[in-house]
């Protein structure tokens, strides 16, 4: 994780708290993500794991504490925040491809409008990325014409087109039909192998075992346990984690 010599963490959360009304969704979260690390966040629904993921590019604001990205506190708003977001990719549960734009336009929009890359250069890069995720043949179709698994692979290509320092995955396979889960996970495993820093909220234990460096288990807005995947899945330390694992691993 420190092959490039830079040992400062890419993301550092310090005493982060957040409420949704009366609900305390994040409780005193302290967490670091190293450069090149693949961090899997698991936990029961309502545990705050999606909120944690979304807080890292400020799609959710936090009430107190601070989040440091690449040595800088997350900007609150405006151009500085937009710049930060352009460096952090995000892949959503519901894909969220721009419905009125073609696959190619979905992938080139960010580079052209945010990075000011020339149109044809952005186009070439988009086609490379679509090739990599196996969707190049569909470049001129609209999102609704693609299957869920294909749309999610395009969403990954859209994130990659910004050359992000990190990609956040918020339950990327939860909305997919079962037969399409693997094609998306394969792309993600490939990214992990290439050294992309990834924070992945998921229930896919196979992915966690294969690609994660570390697993964080959350419940009730707190980080309950943090460990290597092997150690976590075979030898969970807390009752909450053992209870959760018994529920998802039995079927």
Partner 1 sequence: MDELITYAPELARGFLENVKLSLVALVVSFILGTILVAMRVSPTPVLRAAGTVYVNVVRNTPLTLVLAFSALGLSDQLGLVFSDQPETNSFWIVGLGLGAYTAAFVCEALRAGINTVPMGQAEASRAIGLTFFQTLTMIILPQAFRAVIAPLGSVVIAMIKNSTVATAGGFLADSAATMKIVFDTTGASIPIFLGVIAAFMVLILPIGYFTGWLSRKLAVVR
Binding site for partner 1 (CB under 8 A): 57, 59, 78-79, 82-90, 92, 94-100, 109-110, 113-114, 142, 144-145, 155, 158-159, 162
Token output for 118: 């020339």
DSSP 50-97: HHHHHHTTTSS--SEEEEEETTEEPP-SHHHHHHHHHHEEEE-TT---
Other C-beta atoms lying within 10 Å of the C-beta of residue 230: 12
Pairwise CA distance, residues 32 & 216, whole Å: 11
**Backbone φ, ψ for residue 37 (5° rounding):** -85, 145
Nearest distance in Å: CB 163, partner 1: 12
**Backbone φ, ψ for residue 168 (5° rounding):** -100, 130
Nearest distance in Å: CB 52, partner 1: 16
Q: Which is nearer to partner 1, 159 or 187 (CB)?
A: 159
Q: Which is nearer to partner 1, 169 or 232 (CB)?
A: 169
Q: Which is nearer to partner 1, 170 or 183 (CB)?
A: 170
Nearest distance in Å: CB 244, partner 1: 27
Q: Which is nearer to partner 1, 119 or 247 (CB)?
A: 119
The CA-atom distances, in angstroms, between 129 and each of 106, 114, 188, 242 are 12, 18, 13, 39
Q: Which is nearer to partner 1, 5 or 78 (CB)?
A: 78
Nearest distance in Å: CB 145, partner 1: 8
Nearest distance in Å: CB 19, partner 1: 20
């Amino acid at each position: 994780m420190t092959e490039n010599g830079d040992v400062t963490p890419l993301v550092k959360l310090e005493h982060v708290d957040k409420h949704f009304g009366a609900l305390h969704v994040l409780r005193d979260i302290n967490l670091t993500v190293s450069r090149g690390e693949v961090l899997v966040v698991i936990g029961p629904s309502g545990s705050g794991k999606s909120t944690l993921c979304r807080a890292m590019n400020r799609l959710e604001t936090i009430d107190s504490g601070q989040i440091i990205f690449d040595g800088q506190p997350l900007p609150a708003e405006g151009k500085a925040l937009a710049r930060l977001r352009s460096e952090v990719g995000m892949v959503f549960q519901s894909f969220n491809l721009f419905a009125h734009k073609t696959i190619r336009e979905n992938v080139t929009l960010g580079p052209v409008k945010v990075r000011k890359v020339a149109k044809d250069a952005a186009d070439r890069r988009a086609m490379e990325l679509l090739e990599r995720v196996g969707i190049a043949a569909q470049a001129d179709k609209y999102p609704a014409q693609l299957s869920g698994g294909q749309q999610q692979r395009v969403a990954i290509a859209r994130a990659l087109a910004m050359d992000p320092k990190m990609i956040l995955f918020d339950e990327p396979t939860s909305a997919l039909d079962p037969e399409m889960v693997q094609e998306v996970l394969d792309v993600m495993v490939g990214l992990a192998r290439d050294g992309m820093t990834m924070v992945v909220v998921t229930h896919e234990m196979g992915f966690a075992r294969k690609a994660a460096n570390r697993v964080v288990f959350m419940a009730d807005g707190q980080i309950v346990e943090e460990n290597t995947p092997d150690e976590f899945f075979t030898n969970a330390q807390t009752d909450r984690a053992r209870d959760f694992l018994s529920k998802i691993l039995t079927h």
